[in-house]
Structures are given as C-alpha cells and as structure tokens.
Amino acid sequence: MKTTYREALRAGLRDALLRDERVFLMGEDVGAYGGCFAVSLGLFEEFGPERVRDTPLSESAFVGAGIGAAIGGMRPIVELMTVNFSLLALDQIVNNAATLLHMSGGQCHVPVVIRTTTGAGRQLAAQHSHSFEGWYAHIPGLRVLAPATLEDARGMLWTALQSPDPVMIFEHGALLGMDGELADDAGAVEIDHAAIRRSGTDVTLITYGGTLHKTLAAAEALAAEGVSAEVIDLRTLRPLDDATIMESVGRTHRAVIVDEGWRSGSVSAEISARIMEQAFYELDAPVGRVCTAEIPIPYAKQLEEAALPQVPAIMAAVHDVLGRMSTSVDGVPVLAETH
C-alpha cells in the first residue's frame, strides 16, 4: 500500500495500543491536537484520554511520570516534541531511566520508550533542528534507534516495547512526508542489526536516519561514474552493529561516514575509531567523514542546506578516499573533510 513515513509511525502506534492494554502514549499535544507533526492524529478519538494523554509543558515532569509508570508495570510511549526539548529531561533520562537497573542490582527494569523528532532541513532554526541522538548513544543503559525507512518507522516501536529497558527512537522530521510502498502485512522488525541498503565493492558508505536517502542518491550518482558504493543503514546507534560494518569495510577497503551530527564527539567519530581499532589493516585510505557544519543550524534555507551533509559533499568524500579529484557544483569545488 502507498503510505508516508508519518503514517507508518502512526500505524506502529495504533498497532501497539491495540496489542497491549498496558501501552499508552503521552506527550505535549499528542491527544486532541493529533500531535505537533500529526503523527498521533485520530488516536485520541479511537483510544480515549486514558490511553492517549496530553501532558503539561514540562518535559522533566512527564518523562519522569513515564519512567514511574514503566517501573509500575505499564508500557508507556513518551513523545518529546523535538530532540532539542529532550535536554529539559536529561536528568530523568540519563540519571534515572538509564541507571536504575544498575543501581538496583538488576532488580528495577525501566521499560519505557521515548520517541522524539530529530534533525534539520525544515527551516525550524537552531532550537528545533539539531541531531542529538549521538549524545544519547554515549549513555550505557539506553538503546538508541533511528528509523530511516517506512518499514522501520512502522515496525521498530513494537519491538522496542518488548525491551525490559529504556529505548529512545529518533524520527527524522525531514522524512515525515516521505512516501512509498509498505506491505499490507508490515509489522514488527528486529532492531539488533544494521542493514545493507545497497551493495557495492569500491567503498562503504555508513549512515542512518535522515541522511540515508541522500547517501543512496550519492551512491546512485557515483555508479554513473563507475564507482560501486555499498550503503549501510545503521538503524541502531546503541549498540552499534560492528560486525556488519567491519565485514563491509573488509570487502571494500574504504569507508565514508555520513552523519547529520556535528563532527566533534559524534557517531561518525566513534565509528571511525572502531574501524581503526578493528579493521585498520583492511583500509586502503583514511576513513572519510561528512558531517554538519559546527554551527547552530541556521534558519535561512540556503544557509541551512549549506550547513547539512548533501549529495555533492558525500560524492566529494568518496572521490577523496578513492584518490580522485573532488566533484564540483556549478564549477565550484566541493571539498569534503576527511581524517
């Protein structure tokens, strides 16, 4: 059937609410308004205010309530409007949800799922557009998911709800309107492994979330130049699927990581380090990285686009690791930064 990323997320929510009476959704404007991004549209009318709960504008309070409900035997889905607002609940997420199992000697599980919208590309400026999923991937005790396809948008939630421990799902806002075909019987998907979205032999392109489709577009353009690029969709940022990454790099002998986070202390930095540690002697060139410019995301459309990873920069990074000249846009060279 034809659907959108937004509708696939909604289908996953509806399925979870139907399957398990312990599941409920809570967050700002998720009920009568239908969600800030219309993801929960219609669920309030179908399931009522006990299962789809509007909350006060206090992220710390309602994330804390979700953690308490999870400890008490419920299966809450807590929606944070944007990833930037998740910072207001850092104490609850990092100091409580992620640590209680350890601090209780394995006695206290926290089966809460926290969903949030991440990423830029929609002219929402610096307080609504960043990619902080890499920060949370740094935290032991959390599982961090980044659905980039309709199948994963539809299917990751139910699998996450089966976890006895906290899971964070980062849904890229620029993908909400993405449409495509989704099988009528689409359901839960596994969340333990990365996926090879395109096979190749010359270079491994490693990415996730909102940059997957730009990376696939770059791989398509590179194919026209005779470059065979393999594209890995990480899907899960914690724990990382090292085996899939290293197996691919072992075959292509080159890697470029595309990450909408900032370069310093990023997911791309962690993956680059792991490749150096585990597959150094397989490499024929240093690992390349394409990241967001290290500035707050601008509001102006042309500046926002310039700040984010784009297809020409991805292609330029591939040319760099292949030892070729960088590509150009309208005659202006695109210089990819690599380490």
Dist CA 84 CA 58 (whole Å): 13
Tokens of 267: 């997911």
Dist CA 40 CA 49 (whole Å): 13
Q: Pairing state of beta strands 255-262 and 203-207? A: parallel
DSSP count for the chain of H helices, then E strands: 12, 16
Q: Is 86 helix (H, G, I), strand (E, B) or coil?
A: helix
The backbone torsions φ and ψ at residue 291, rounded to the nearest 5 degrees and listed phi first, read: -130, 170
Dist CA 256 CA 188 (whole Å): 30
Q: Estimate the crossing angle of helix 5-19 against helix 150-161, to 10 degrees.
A: 30
Catalytic (active site) residue 46? no
Quick one: how far is CA 12 from the chain centroid?
16
User: Which residue in 59, 79, 270, 304 is the catalytic one?
Assistant: 59
Dist CA 230 CA 252 (whole Å): 8
Catalytic (active site) residue 128? yes
Closest CA to 8 of 228, 209, 171, 237: 171
User: Which residue in 79, 128, 171, 230 is the catalytic one?
Assistant: 128
Tokens of 184: 């009528």
Q: Which residues are catalytic?
A: 59, 128
